[in-house]
Structure 1
Amino acid sequence: MVMLASLLAVAAAAPAATELPSPVSRAPVTTRDLVELADITAPTPSPDGRRIAYRLSQPSVDKNASHLSWFVVEVHGGGEPVVLDGGAVRPDASGVPVETTPVWDADSRGLRFLALKDGVQAIWHWRDDAPLQREIVDEADITDFGPSADGGALRYSVGATRAAIADAERSAYRDGVLVDGSLNLNQAVAGGVIEDGQRVMRRISSPWFDNRRILWDVAATEKTAVPSDPAQRPAPPPPAQDIASRAANGSLAEIVGERDKQQLRVTRADGRLLVCSASPCRSGKLRALAWRGGSDALLLFEKDRSEREIVWLWAVGASKAKRLTVTSGALRVPGQPPRCAVGAEALYCADAQPLVPPRLVRIDYSSGRTQVLAEPNRALAARIAAKAEPMAWPGGFTGYFLSPIDAKGPLPVVVQYYMCEGFLKGGSGDEIPMLPLAEHGIAVLCIDAVRAPRAAGMEGSYALALETIGSALDGLAAQGKIDPSRVGIGGLSFGSSVALWAIRKSKRFAAATIASGQISPHYYWMNALPGRGFTAVLDDVWGLGPPDTAPDRWRSVTALWDIDALDTPLLMQVPESEVQSNVELHTRLKRAGKPAEMIVFADELHIKYQPAHKRASYERNLDWYRFWLKGEEDKAPDKAGQYRRWRQYRAGQSLPVPAR
């Protein structure tokens, strides 16, 4: 175990807590508030630098849908924003909304974007002097678009036609479906995903669990369109924000190597080589770079705690770089627009901080001043009454301790282990209702995951997580901040596996929640058909072969043969696409009289994307932790049934177990 004295010293040296004053009179933050939080993506400056466009996603619990809008605002403030209908959200393979970037017209007086409306994804065009119109529509949905290399034309991609997809779906329903490696039997065969109000069929598109709409493998067709008015042709693409970027003058900037061998090199058009010696270039943590337009300078994005990024401005050849800001950063997933856009005079970021919900900010290069351009969650921000203390522990672990602003005495606490980036909303996958827990006097300890060396296997990462969680809890208990007898743990994906491992291997947890399917023999056989590549991934990451040839490995990794150790009350709220992997675990727990139950959400992917489902999951997790950590019950009449069950679990009762 990590030495307690060392842990306390490191925690004490962490940055000061983020704290928002408690308003005199306010409505508490609820689970609905978290679900309906407005999110900002894809900030994109106009070519003349006078305006910026961004996308706003607004979920609605009552409509059980999210709506997209594009906003155009002046970068120096003033005037009313232009608001454009962005259509419906399309979830990606995991359930996260697909993000797209708009394309400005060359004269900065209009822009184009992709929108899914009435079952058709097309290119829409807006101009200052004209209404929004659907400009380019194809027999197939347009999946991607952008300016040609010289900016003179629009290029776009299409796949299978909508008619062909509809025929394939009808045939699959009418004639049956061949079971092969592309069919995910964890999802409804008739279609287990909602897009623009319609259920659609998907098929597996990778060795793991990536999935795309049926006929996704039809070869894409690339097309071009040239607007007749030169002013309305697309502006040339900006320099890339990536590990390599080429400037207009031909200079190539590249991040090469990793960690202590990482370098930033600039190769001039004439072949001259410059190596950056400024501190961020030597940190080993650079994740991306981008040229500042009209200047021989680079924006550098350096990894900070919790997926945040420190942004630097470096004049090529200078010995030092100018620190501009710390942003909420992004996971930098291929195909996902960056959270910050590089302009000629300023950086524009869709930013969020632990207690500051998403907003759009402008950071001036010269003065370093931050200006808020859009604050869609301002009313919610004014109601937050909590403090978030940044924490750090030996081994490179970081996180936050979230607690009520007026907390007195040791608090019950819920641990969320995985990622703590941005606004402290719900953790990875939005499953732990952090601020509502604080409203009810329950603290949250969010810890960023660190993986064990590859040789230690996945169990090594689980064990490292449990050791760090235990040390962090011991440190907080020694400071009188938490009650070690009232600790919960929960999470999604890797975080859910850590939570299940923790309650198998430790008795310190009084309640647990998980939101994902777990590895089991059934999980293996559901996905191990030849030709898919799943078994190679499972062997590479978990060291698992077929259950009948490696029973000892399976007993170590899975909880199915360790039911006696699972006494912690366990709530599983899983998507329909993963529930079958947990059926045996749930049944074994119930037959053993353990305090466990499982809720399944229809038409859901790995991360729940339907607002009504997210609200229900948040609310039930909140009730579960209040019940087991504080003995509290919500008096709402529609919750009476759940509390009858839970009181039965607490009394040690169980349903009758069949004799055979």
Structure 2
Amino acid sequence: MTTRDLVEVADIMGPTLSPDGEKILFRVSRPSVSANDTKLDWYVADIDGAPPVHAGSAGTVRHDGAGSVAEQKAVWDADSKGFRSLALVDGVSAIWHWREHQGQRREIVDAADILDFDVSADGRSLRYTTGATRAEVAAAEQRAYDEGVLVDDSVDLGQAIAGGKIEGGHRVVQRWNRNWFDRAGLLWDAPKKETAVELGSENIAPSLPATRSQQDRRIVLKTGGVAEIEGSAGEVRLTVVRANGERIPCSAAPCRSGKLAAITERPGSGMLILFERDAGARENIWLWRIGDRKARYLTATDGAERTPIWQPRCGAAPKALICAESSATEPPRLVRIAYVDGARSVIADPNADLRRRIGAVATPLRWENGHDGILLTPSSSAGPLPLVVQYYRCAGFLKGGVGDEIPMLPLVEHGIAVLCINGQSPPPGQPMERSYETALAAIGDAIDDLAARKRIDPRSVGIGGLSFGSTVAVWAIRKSKRFAAATISSGQATPHYYWSNALPDRGFARTFREFWQAGDPDSDPERWRTISPASDVVAIDTPLLMQLPESEVRNLVEFHTKLKLAGKPAELFAFADEIHIKYQPVHKRAVYERNLDWYRFWLKGEEDPAPAKSGQYVRWRALRAGAPQESFQATAP
């Protein structure tokens, strides 16, 4: 299991059922290190067995504001023999149309990139949305380069001024779009235009209206009426309201568990499918016939997390549920789950070769403090193992944790156990450090538990993460001596971070105060001594490897410099043209490989003999020996 294997894991997104319930449309993304790109393809498969058919390219990969591969909208034709989708091809975002026996063609193109579209229920017309034209965006980008950029609340000074990320081989200028830390291209806020287009008649079938799969807390029933989950965590209720106004409450146990996450309709059955949260992204699936007092348990499914911006990973056909599944040691595949008995059959497995080579064992764990997680270990191991911990989320295939940066399976193959713990939010009204204290206590309990059972060596424990996971890791090495190595992938709350984002009108200062209960570094220095890791570098002895995107590396300038001046074992790498989650495959592999080497070196004393890596071991041996550096005593800001 190599780091390249992890980078090139194929993912399945957005399984969408055809209107007749007989076909499934899904997208496969395949990163490539050699091409430093991700290939996107559409596939169509019969629900009951025929192999998937390639239905054309999904275009150039695009990433959301954080760096994850973005979803793409696809809408079936009313007769279930084709579909339309948005795709970026050769720098143009247009509507493409695929039909059986005809293939894929670009159908609608505009002078502006098409942002969204909808097809009428009878399939006769289409309406699409555009913003600024490509020529206007290109001119704005050129002006930004030629004339300089006015620094206001939309400019991310962590990114390159005239380019923030790469799409299709070209740098795209980005700006904050005022949704906290989300980004968009220049002129994203230009007035929107709606355009209507009449379509041909070859795909019209009014008796089979095109509908998009619904799976949420409120759905419209095909038989009339609605079903809705009301309430919040801990106290919910599911009620069906018929078209005639009749109310039918669900009294079955999963409807009242407080963990009911979503519902969808099983076509033609008078049943609802209930998705109840379990640990991580795992969900229990129940079948409830509307009006019955009990629900029938079907199975459990794991995979991508359920979020407001990602499509559901399951679609409901009349005879079976179709899900894009993955689990801790099982890479993504598309499966058919029969309603009769929950039996699974594989529709598509783009990671079949990798699946056969995985030998790690995943053990679910729960502790009395309310936390749960997954321990990865070799299939055969003797004696206590070194351990690497990630505290954040443990969803689906554990190839690298949140952000995909800790090479979990290669670590296991090198005799290092990996523990992923699902994090918990701080109590309402408490500052962010309460969640870090909770995390450190939970991690400590887990280490003690595993050490007592002689599963791990408590003297050889590492910790790492991205985003919230990285702030937990830094807090842990500030406040504890338990850890022999650490890696992080994100910026931290430092004065530079604050002043780079706190221009008026963006709302950053208000949101920061809500989370941290702190003002700016000048007016609230006492709180900043708690918040900023740069304030107490003397307390940090754990070897720390920092591999950051270009957009966040400046937030660590003070912290990194103080660590080096204090003689602490630390290294900082910056990756060009990267945003919060690194998206370029060549960078992903480099991060995986260096993190693997770092943990092997500090937890096991192992060095990779590859000649190309000799330089890093010269540096790391010097760090381990405590090579003399300029004497420095850190002071609080």
Normalising by structure 2, we get a TM-score of 0.97
**Change over 3 Å in CA distance of 1:527–1:79 after alignment to 2:** closer
CA distance, structure 2, for counterparts of residue 38 and residue 103 of structure 1: 23
- The number of residues matched between the two structures is 632
* Match 2:137 to one of 159, 162, 165: 165
CA distance, structure 2, for counterparts of residue 326 and residue 605 of structure 1: 34
Give the structure 1 partner of residue 367 of structure 2: 393
Give the structure 2 partner of residue 9 of structure 1: none
Q: Is the 8 A contact 1:151 1:237 kept in 2?
A: no
Is 1:526 the counterpart of 2:500? The answer is yes
Is 1:47 the counterpart of 2:19? The answer is yes
Q: Is the 8 A contact 1:412 1:486 kept in 2?
A: yes
Give the structure 2 partner of residue 594 of structure 1: 568
SS of the aligned residue for 1:114 comes to strand
Give the structure 2 partner of residue 470 of structure 1: 444
- Structure 1 window deviating more from structure 2 (96-105 vs 326-335): it is 326-335
Q: Report 1:535-574 matches (<5 A).
A: 535-574=509-548
CA distance, structure 2, for counterparts of residue 207 and residue 113 of structure 1: 26
Give the structure 2 partner of residue 21 of structure 1: none
* Match 1:95 to one of 41, 53, 67: 67
CA distance, structure 2, for counterparts of residue 374 and residue 131 of structure 1: 20
C-alpha displacement at 1:370, in angstroms? 1.2
Which amino acid is the alignment partner of residue 556 of structure 1?
T
CA distance, structure 2, for counterparts of residue 133 and residue 235 of structure 1: 23
C-alpha displacement at 1:298, in angstroms? 1.0
Give the structure 2 partner of residue 34 of structure 1: 6
Is 1:182 the counterpart of 2:154? The answer is yes
* Match 1:222 to one of 194, 201, 205: 194
Which amino acid is the alignment partner of residue 275 of structure 2?
F
**Change over 3 Å in CA distance of 1:200–1:232 after alignment to 2:** farther
**Change over 3 Å in CA distance of 1:291–1:80 after alignment to 2:** closer
Give the structure 2 partner of residue 340 of structure 1: 314
Give the structure 2 partner of residue 642 of structure 1: 616
Which amino acid is the alignment partner of residue 68 of structure 1?
L
Q: Is the 8 A contact 2:550 2:576 kept in 1?
A: yes
Give the structure 1 partner of residue 552 of structure 2: 578
C-alpha displacement at 1:654, in angstroms? 4.0
SS of the aligned residue for 2:551 comes to coil
C-alpha displacement at 1:384, in angstroms? 0.6
Q: Report 1:237-256 matches (<5 A).
A: 237-238=211-212, 240-256=214-230
C-alpha displacement at 1:207, in angstroms? 5.1
Is 1:84 the counterpart of 2:61? The answer is no
Is 1:506 the counterpart of 2:498? The answer is no
Which amino acid is the alignment partner of residue 321 of structure 1?
A
Give the structure 1 partner of residue 596 of structure 2: 622
CA distance, structure 2, for counterparts of residue 498 and residue 547 of structure 1: 21
SS of the aligned residue for 1:600 comes to strand
Give the structure 2 partner of residue 310 of structure 1: 284
Which amino acid is the alignment partner of residue 263 of structure 2?
L
Cα shift readout 1:155-178 (whole Å, capped 9, x = no counterpart):
322111111100100011101111
Give the structure 2 partner of residue 146 of structure 1: 118
CA distance, structure 2, for counterparts of residue 312 and residue 100 of structure 1: 29
SS of the aligned residue for 2:346 comes to strand
Q: Is the 8 A contact 1:44 1:101 kept in 2?
A: no
Give the structure 2 partner of residue 362 of structure 1: 336
**Change over 3 Å in CA distance of 1:659–1:549 after alignment to 2:** closer
Which amino acid is the alignment partner of residue 511 of structure 2?
V
SS of the aligned residue for 1:578 comes to helix
C-alpha displacement at 1:304, in angstroms? 0.9
Q: Is the 8 A contact 2:327 2:396 kept in 1?
A: yes
Give the structure 1 partner of residue 95 of structure 2: 123
Is 1:383 the counterpart of 2:360? The answer is no
Cα shift readout 1:575-605 (whole Å, capped 9, x = no counterpart):
0000111110000000111000100000001
Give the structure 1 partner of residue 469 of structure 2: 495
CA distance, structure 1, for counterparts of residue 268 and residue 511 of structure 2: 46
Is 1:420 the counterpart of 2:394? The answer is yes
CA distance, structure 2, for counterparts of residue 151 and residue 333 of structure 1: 29
Which amino acid is the alignment partner of residue 130 of structure 2?
V
Q: Which runs of 5+ in 2 are unaligned?
A: none
CA distance, structure 2, for counterparts of residue 139 and residue 394 of structure 1: 59
What RMSD over aligned residues (CA atoms) do the two structures have, in Å?
A: 1.7
Give the structure 2 partner of residue 438 of structure 1: 412
**Change over 3 Å in CA distance of 1:591–1:280 after alignment to 2:** same
Q: Is the 8 A contact 1:491 1:514 kept in 2?
A: yes
Q: Which runs of 4+ in 1 moved over 6 A?
A: none
**Change over 3 Å in CA distance of 1:492–1:643 after alignment to 2:** same
Q: Which runs of 5+ in 1 are unaligned?
A: 1-28
C-alpha displacement at 1:145, in angstroms? 2.2
* Match 1:267 to one of 236, 241, 259: 241
Q: Is the 8 A contact 2:250 2:290 kept in 1?
A: yes
CA distance, structure 2, for counterparts of residue 79 and residue 206 of structure 1: 44
Q: Is the 8 A contact 1:147 1:235 kept in 2?
A: no
SS of the aligned residue for 1:159 comes to strand
Q: Is the 8 A contact 1:573 1:599 kept in 2?
A: yes
SS of the aligned residue for 1:212 comes to strand
* Match 2:259 to one of 279, 285, 297: 285
CA distance, structure 2, for counterparts of residue 150 and residue 419 of structure 1: 42
Identity of aligned residues (%): 56
**Change over 3 Å in CA distance of 1:654–1:126 after alignment to 2:** farther
C-alpha displacement at 1:335, in angstroms? 3.1
Is 1:110 the counterpart of 2:82? The answer is yes
C-alpha displacement at 1:232, in angstroms? 4.9
C-alpha displacement at 1:330, in angstroms? 3.8
C-alpha displacement at 1:325, in angstroms? 2.2
Give the structure 1 partner of residue 29 of structure 2: 57
Which amino acid is the alignment partner of residue 31 of structure 2?
P
CA distance, structure 2, for counterparts of residue 334 and residue 148 of structure 1: 24
Q: Report 1:598-613 matches (<5 A).
A: 598-613=572-587
Cα shift readout 1:549-580 (whole Å, capped 9, x = no counterpart):
11110101111111111000000000000011
Which amino acid is the alignment partner of residue 34 of structure 1?
L
**Change over 3 Å in CA distance of 1:31–1:659 after alignment to 2:** closer
CA distance, structure 2, for counterparts of residue 495 and residue 525 of structure 1: 23
**Change over 3 Å in CA distance of 1:111–1:235 after alignment to 2:** farther
Give the structure 2 partner of residue 6 of structure 1: none
CA distance, structure 2, for counterparts of residue 83 and residue 252 of structure 1: 34
SS of the aligned residue for 1:629 comes to helix
Is 1:69 the counterpart of 2:69? The answer is no
SS of the aligned residue for 1:98 comes to coil
**Change over 3 Å in CA distance of 1:196–1:176 after alignment to 2:** same
Is 1:323 the counterpart of 2:297? The answer is yes
SS of the aligned residue for 2:581 comes to coil
C-alpha displacement at 1:658, in angstroms? 9.1
C-alpha displacement at 1:88, in angstroms? 1.3
Which amino acid is the alignment partner of residue 528 of structure 2?
W
C-alpha displacement at 1:293, in angstroms? 2.0
Give the structure 2 partner of residue 137 of structure 1: 109
Q: Is the 8 A contact 2:275 2:283 kept in 1?
A: yes
Cα shift readout 1:238-272 (whole Å, capped 9, x = no counterpart):
35211101112321101001234210011111111
C-alpha displacement at 1:637, in angstroms? 1.2
**Change over 3 Å in CA distance of 1:309–1:224 after alignment to 2:** farther
CA distance, structure 2, for counterparts of residue 400 and residue 122 of structure 1: 43
CA distance, structure 2, for counterparts of residue 510 and residue 80 of structure 1: 48
Give the structure 1 partner of residue 425 of structure 2: 451
Which amino acid is the alignment partner of residue 554 of structure 1?
W
Which amino acid is the alignment partner of residue 583 of structure 1?
V
